[in-house]
Amino acid sequence: MAALGGDGLRLLSVSRPERQPESAALGGPGPGLCCWVSVFSCLSLACSYVGSLYVWKSELPRDHPAVIKRRFTSVLVVSSLSPLCVLLWRELTGIQPGTPLLTLMGFRLEGIFPAALLPLLLTMILFLGPLMQLSMDCPCDLADGLKVVLAPRSWARCLMDMRWLRNQVIAPLTEELVFRACMLPMLAPCTGLGPAVFTCPLFFGVAHFHHIFEQLRFRQSSVGSIFLSAAFQFSYTAVFGAYTAFLFIRTGHLIGPVLCHSFCNYMGFPAVCAALEHPQRRPLLAGYALGVGLFLLLLQPLTDPKLYGSLPLCVLLEQAGDSEAPLCS
């Protein structure tokens, strides 16, 4: 974000001043205006998303089914209208992506099957240790577990559970739509793909600070613990946001980040402390280390853009004259 201050807000790369700025190459306004419009649009989206959660006045906690149902309504309305912000950004900046808006936002059929399966597989590899821990602590064997997972009654119970719907369906879908599919196309022409991966999650992380007010309101813990938890959540969500932004850019699809988001919501943050005190600590810690090692080893191959066809954001930057974006190859 340092590129957004000072003398002119250069686009994409300040290390190659001989190249024409992207906004000018696309027939838009000056680079400074383009960047400020992009940042303001992203900030407006983030505020609208969080603000929609509080249009309903209630004395009930956030996990109450009535509160969850009302928030479903407002957040789905905001998310459905979020592409209009991208349209407005396009008109204000004069940037013409050269691809349909929905394609730019990751709604496309080309390469959809690998885009759905490979990022989720990669994320499950990262969670190899926690998955082993879950398996060790589960009282049922694998066959019984699969029967429960595949049973229609189990899915029916899940679909009737408002918290499950929020954590596994609505939150992943709407958050990835707003904070990745809408924000990344607006930020990329300003900052470049690499900086956008780390800039976009800042909006996502800050958006989770609203939990502080609810925790303070219901006095769920001490003030110090609440703010410490909020700082940890900001860090975790920012790192996770950078990961799903990376997946969105490298695959050009929204479905992969949504599925990974849902999986991570189900798993939660890895219980490392519990693993250190587990009766089978050594194989469990080996699983943690193996998962991280395999994740780093397979991160590039499993997100190779060649597996997913042409990438809309990369096409956008190629039109802007940046054919050397490292995330596009």
- Eight-class DSSP state of 182: I
HEC string of 152-181 equals: HHHHHHHHHCHHHHHHHHHHHHHHHHHHHH
Pair of tokens at residue 168? 């596994």
Q: What residue type is 229 in one-letter code?
A: S
Residue with tokens 């240790």: 129
* Contact by Cβ (8 Å): 26, 320: yes
30 phi-psi bin (left φ>0, alpha ψ -120 to 50, beta other): beta
Q: Where are the alpha helices (DSSP H) in 161-280?
A: 162-165, 171-176, 183-191, 193-207, 210-217, 223-251, 255-267, 272-276
Q: Which candidate in 64, 208, 210, 211 is catalytic?
A: 208
* Contact by Cβ (8 Å): 245, 183: no
Q: Which candidate in 59, 91, 110, 175 is catalytic?
A: 175
214 is catalytic: no
175 is catalytic: yes
Which residues are identified as catalytic? 175, 208
